[in-house]
């Protein structure tokens, strides 16, 4: 068995793939055995860290998003920048606390949530990002109690679960029960980031009963940082600016 095959067989796949380069570099720098082994160990460690990050990003379902450096902090009329930056530092994760972002449409709460999730992925945590509608559609589609339990465990498992867009649709009894079950399984165990366009006082309007809304709110906000944003939509501002640019171009 060749050295390349032996390295591959014992799991040093990156070293096996780049064996010729490693040997050439070792000869050029006149490394001894210990230096060669240190270099191989560093290469393998870096490669595995990179692949682990790629796997976590893929499993998070974050998709594309704007970096927080592109966020216009001066646009919202009300925003707690300190609280958001603290969330981006992941201070809430160690205590299994939640972060709740409450804002009208178009103010960037999903962008902020995705940046928090991305920071958690980079820090080595398992993360899942999903809209409330997607999650409940998935759970309601399960055809047996055993299948449903498996999917509930799927949403309970990640260190950080981000549920986006709670409040955009009304919930029937089954959806409300399933959402409550997900939140309850994570309660005081693992963190949630949740975005909603409704103040908590308005949640009874989208749930089948005030009791179900109150029970869910109680679980969500206990041990939570609630961050409210107020102002006009970024997207509307951008659309109006684009319309003005088009009008100016036509006027030339």
At 246 the pLDDT is: 60
Better-scored residue on pLDDT, 60 or 25: 60
Q: Are 98 and 193 in contact (CB under 8 A)?
A: yes
Q: Are 208 and 199 in contact (CB under 8 A)?
A: no
Average pLDDT, the chain: 89
**Phi and psi torsions of 78, nearest 5°:** -145, 125
**Phi and psi torsions of 207, nearest 5°:** -105, 155
pLDDT at 223 over 80: yes
> Is this prediction's pTM over 0.85?
no
- Domain coordinates of the chain in residue numbers? 3-60, 68-236
pLDDT at 230 over 90: yes
pLDDT at 239 over 90: no
State pLDDT tens for residues 48-96: 888 888 899 999 999 999 999 999 999 899 999 999 999 999 999 999 9
Residues 68-236, CATH architecture: 3-Layer(aba) Sandwich (3.40)
Residue closest to 102 by CA, chosen among 247, 229, 238: 229
State pLDDT tens for residues 118-140: 999 999 999 999 999 999 999 99
Better-scored residue on pLDDT, 25 or 234: 25
The CA-atom distances, in angstroms, between 178 and each of 139, 167, 195 are 7, 15, 17
């Amino acid at each position: 068995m060749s050295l390349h095959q032996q390295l591959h067989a014992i799991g040093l796949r990156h070293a096996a793939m780049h064996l010729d380069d490693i040997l050439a570099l070792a000869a050029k720098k006149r490394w001894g055995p210990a230096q060669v082994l240190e270099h191989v160990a560093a290469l393998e460690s870096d490669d595995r860290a990179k692949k682990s990050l790629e796997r976590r990003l893929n499993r998070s379902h974050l998709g594309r998003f704007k970096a927080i450096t592109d966020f216009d902090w001066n646009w919202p009329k009300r925003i707690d920048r300190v609280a958001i930056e603290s969330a981006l530092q992941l201070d809430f994760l160690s205590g299994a606390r939640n972060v709740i972002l409450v804002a009208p449409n178009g103010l960037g709460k999903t962008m902020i949530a995705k940046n928090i999730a991305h920071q958690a992925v980079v820090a080595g945590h398992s993360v899942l990002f999903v809209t409330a509608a997607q999650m409940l559609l998935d759970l309601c589609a399960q055809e047996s109690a055993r299948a449903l339990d498996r999917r509930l465990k799927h949403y309970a498992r990640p260190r950080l679960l981000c549920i986006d867009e709670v409040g955009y649709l009304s919930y029937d009894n089954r959806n409300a029960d399933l959402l409550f079950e997900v939140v309850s399984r994570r309660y005081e165990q693992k963190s949630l980031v949740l975005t909603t366009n409704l103040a908590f006082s308005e949640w009874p309007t989208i749930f089948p009963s005030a009791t179900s809304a109150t029970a869910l709110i109680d679980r969500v906000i206990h041990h939570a940082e609630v961050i409210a944003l107020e102002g006009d939509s970024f997207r509307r501002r951008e659309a109006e600016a684009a319309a003005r640019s088009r009008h100016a171009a036509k006027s030339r």
